[in-house]
């Protein structure tokens, strides 16, 4: 019996050996004769290790080689803070910070010698959006909210968890350009319907804007947001690969299933400021809901032109809010050239928008929403100091859902189920667990923003001003934000000549 087993084992070993040798010979012949890869042609088989380690390199660097503050787009310290907040574990550390305060751009809040006592703290007030200019203004209670992420770009369980978490935390959720799905409404949260350049979910068969669908959607959403551009890819429309366009997603968007969903790079019916103001007023009057604009900013020209147009035509034509997306945005797939180099980062874009509104005496009319890697309470508090009313975050809430920054959002292979429609991978995202983390993250952000405000001597977060934060310019030299960006003259553009250039600025 043992002899038989030995013979069989020997035979199997021989066969496997021949198969291995045959496979190596095949690879050698293939690599030597192929013309695409120089390394493989010169170093057959062994050269494949280069591609293997290149693929794994970003993951090894993330976990073994980069320090806590080095990684991009988000370092380990930032991700760890979000994970702890989402798990309601608090952000307590010991033995000092790893944050280098000598680096240019670092944020340093100005602590008050007599911070606000517990009994003197006030709840952060909500803000009405569209009050006095539409039939159904929207009361926004949370400073921190969920930025636009389309159903399609993210998965069904991700949308459901965000909806339920937003309802529990009391924040709003933006649909993104993919239209309103049933999963956005699962939790009963406040929803902002984004109108993208392809008008998905609010379009006729020919792709034009549908007034009928807009009136129907107004029964389910709190506001509409006209998307001009996003920080990840200004000048480029949204892209959803065909493999992610399921029958259900196609039905919601109003497009064929299985085909790439590519949005135009701008609205066909909005070619200038006058068109934009007309569209804002039309949709507001049609639906009775507030209407705002989402855009990335490249310089002074857009905001100056927008404010000039409002001053000519009246505040009833103004957007009820402007969502400014910094150039560091990136939850959506985008060409690397645009992702790397197009539009201003939020640290420069936000002051330009706020100052233009102040100069035009429109700051009280138009609410400002800031977005662009503002995933921590410190970055969010900076934006409030600069003049924002609200903070939007996409990737912060993706981390709360369990995102590990695998950088596969566009490949339908997300290992955490956040951005894939692969049911096996979605299984890891348990809605009943993750919606609590979404709510915890939002609540922790709002709580810590208030904590910063109280330490600065403010009774609540909306009292934060530019003088409450300093920005590091060079090592060991910082400057107060109100000195870096002095408050402009209120109403300058209303009382003075309406032109394309603000005092002390360039036209761009």
Task: Give the span between the Cα atoms of 467 and 159, in whole angstroms.
Answer: 38
Choose between 69 and 413: higher pLDDT. 413
- What average pLDDT does the segment 210-214 reach? 96
What pLDDT, in 10s, does the model give residues 244-267? 888 888 888 888 888 888 888 999
Of the listed ranges 5-14, 21-30, 256-265, 405-414, the one predicted with least confidence: 5-14
Q: Give the model's pLDDT for residue 129.
A: 97
Predicted pLDDT of residue 338? 78
pLDDT of res. 58: 58
pLDDT, tens only, 221-246: 999 999 998 877 777 777 777 778 88
Over residues 99-120, mean pLDDT: 92
Task: Name the pLDDT band for 65 (thresholds 50, 70, 90).
Answer: low
Which whole-number Å values give the CA distances from 120 to 48, 103, 151, 456, in the listed order? 66, 35, 43, 13
Average pLDDT of span 343-355: 93
β partners of residue 472: 478
Q: Please state the rounded mean pLDDT for residues 263-280.
A: 94
Burial level of 332, CB count in 10 A (0-12/13-18/19+)? Answer: buried
Joined tokens for residue 365: 């009319």
Residue 60: the pLDDT is 59
Which tokens in the block code for residue 285? 């009057």
CA angle 44, 46, 52 (to 5 degrees): 115
This prediction's pTM: 0.85
DSSP track, 204-272:
-TTS-B-HHHHHHHTTT-SEEEEE---TT-TTS--EE-GGG--HHHHHHHTS-TTS-EE--SS-TT--S
Q: Class of 127-495 per CATH?
A: alpha beta
Separation CA 182–CA 69 (nearest Å): 39
Determine the length of the chain.
Answer: 508
Determine the pLDDT at residue 336: 76
pLDDT average, residue stretch 494-505: 47
Find out whether 390 and 145 touch, Cβ atoms under 8 Å: yes
Q: Cα(192)–Cα(37) distance, rounded to whole angstroms? A: 48
Q: Are 71 and 373 in contact (CB under 8 A)?
A: no
On the question of a cis peptide bond just before residue 444, with omega within 30 degrees of 0, the verdict is no
Three-state DSSP class for 413?
coil
Q: Report which of residues 270 and 93 the model is more confident about.
A: 270
Per domain, the residue ranges of the chain are 2-68, 127-495
Q: How far apart are CA 107 and CA 98, in angstroms?
A: 14
Model confidence pLDDT, tens digit, residues 121-175: 999 999 999 999 999 999 999 999 999 999 988 999 999 999 999 999 999 999 9
pLDDT at position 403 over 90: no
CB contact at 8 A, 326 and 373? yes
Q: Is the pLDDT of residue 440 over 50?
A: yes
Going by pLDDT thresholds of 50, 70 and 90, the confidence category of residue 44 is confident
Residue with tokens 């259900």: 248
Q: Which two tokens stand for residue 252?
A: 């919601």
Give me the pLDDT at residue 504, please. Answer: 41
- Tokens representing residue 376 in the block: 């921590």
Which of 84 and 284 is assigned the larger pLDDT?
A: 284
SS3 state of residue 479: strand
pLDDT value, residue 411: 77
pLDDT recorded at residue 83: 84
Please tell me the predicted confidence (pLDDT) of residue 499. 45
Helix H, strand E, coil C: the string for 135-180 is CCCEEECCCEEECCCCECCECHHHHHHHHHHHHHHCCEEECCCCCC
Mean residue pLDDT across the chain: 87
Mean pLDDT, to the nearest integer, of 388-393?
97
Transcribe 38-101 into DSSP letters.
Answer: HHHHHSTTTTHHHHHHHHHHHHHIIIIIS-TTT-SSS-HHHHHHHHHHHTT------S-----T
| Assigned token pair, 161 | 């968890």
pLDDT score for 500: 41
The model's confidence at residue 81, banded by pLDDT at 50, 70 and 90, is confident
Taking CA atoms, 116 is separated from 162, 381, 383, 462, in Å, by 33, 17, 21, 14
Looking only at the bridges linking them, the beta strands covering 107-109 and 367-371 are: unpaired
Structure tokens given for 62: 């993330």
**How does residue 5 score in pLDDT terms, banded at 50, 70 and 90?**
low
In terms of phi and psi (left: phi > 0; alpha: psi -120 to 50; beta: otherwise), the region of 405 is left
On the question of pLDDT at 498 being above 60, the answer is: no
């Amino acid at each position: 019996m043992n002899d038989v087993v030995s013979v069989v084992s020997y035979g199997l070993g021989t066969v496997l050996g021949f198969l291995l040798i045959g496979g190596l010979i095949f690879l050698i012949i293939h690599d030597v004769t192929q013309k695409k890869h120089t390394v493989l042609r010169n170093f057959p088989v062994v050269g494949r290790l280069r591609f293997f380690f290149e693929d794994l390199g970003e993951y090894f660097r993330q976990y073994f080689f980069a320090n806590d503050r080095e990684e991009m787009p988000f370092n380990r310290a930032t991700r760890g803070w979000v994970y702890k907040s989402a798990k309601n574990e608090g952000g307590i550390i010991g033995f000092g910070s790893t944050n280098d305060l000598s680096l240019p751009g670092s944020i340093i809040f100005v602590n008050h010698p007599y911070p606000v006592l517990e009994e003197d703290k006030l709840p952060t007030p909500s803000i009405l959006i569209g009050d006095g200019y539409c039939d159904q203004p929207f009361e926004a209670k949370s400073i921190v909210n969920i930025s636009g992420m389309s159903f399609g770009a993210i998965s069904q369980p991700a949308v459901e968890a965000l909806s339920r978490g937003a309802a529990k935390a009391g924040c709003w959720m933006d649909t993104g350009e993919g239209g309103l799905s049933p999963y956005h409404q699962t939790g009963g949260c406040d929803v902002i319907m984004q109108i993208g350049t392809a008008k998905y979910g609010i379009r006729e068969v020919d792709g034009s804007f549908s007034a009928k669908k807009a009136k129907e959607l107004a029964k389910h959403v709190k506001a509409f947001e006209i998307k001009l551009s996003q920080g990840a890819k200004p000048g480029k429309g949204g892209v959803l690969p065909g493999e992610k366009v399921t029958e259900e997603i196609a039905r919601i968007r109003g497009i064929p299933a299985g085909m790439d969903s590519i949005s135009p790079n701008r609205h066909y019916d909005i070619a200038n400021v006058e068109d934009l103001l007309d569209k804002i007023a039309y949709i507001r009057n049609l639906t009775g809901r507030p209407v705002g604009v989402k855009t990335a900013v490249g310089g002074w020209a857009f905001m100056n032109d927008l404010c000039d147009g409002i001053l000519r035509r009246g505040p009833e034509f103004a957007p009820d809010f402007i969502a400014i997306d910094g150039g560091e945005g990136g939850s959506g797939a985008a060409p690397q050239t645009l992702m790397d180099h197009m539009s201003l980062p939020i640290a420069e874009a936000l002051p330009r928008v706020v100052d233009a509104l102040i100069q035009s005496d429109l700051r009280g009319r138009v609410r400002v929403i800031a977005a662009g890697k503002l995933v921590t309470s410190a970055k969010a508090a900076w934006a409030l100091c600069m003049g924002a009313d609200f903070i939007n975050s996409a990737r912060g809430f993706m981390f709360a859902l369990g995102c590990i920054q695998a950088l596969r959002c566009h490949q339908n292979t997300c290992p955490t189920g956040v951005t894939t429609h692969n049911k096996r991978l979605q299984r890891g995202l348990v809605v009943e667990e993750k919606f609590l983390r979404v709510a915890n993250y939002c609540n922790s952000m709002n709580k810590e923003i208030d904590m910063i405000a109280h330490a600065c001597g403010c009774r609540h977060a909306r009292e934060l001003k530019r003088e409450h934060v300093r920005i590091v310019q060079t090592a060991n030299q910082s400057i107060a934000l109100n000195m870096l960006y002095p408050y402009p003259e209120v109403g300058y553009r209303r009382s003075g000549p309406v032109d394309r250039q603000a005092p002390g600025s360039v036209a761009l």
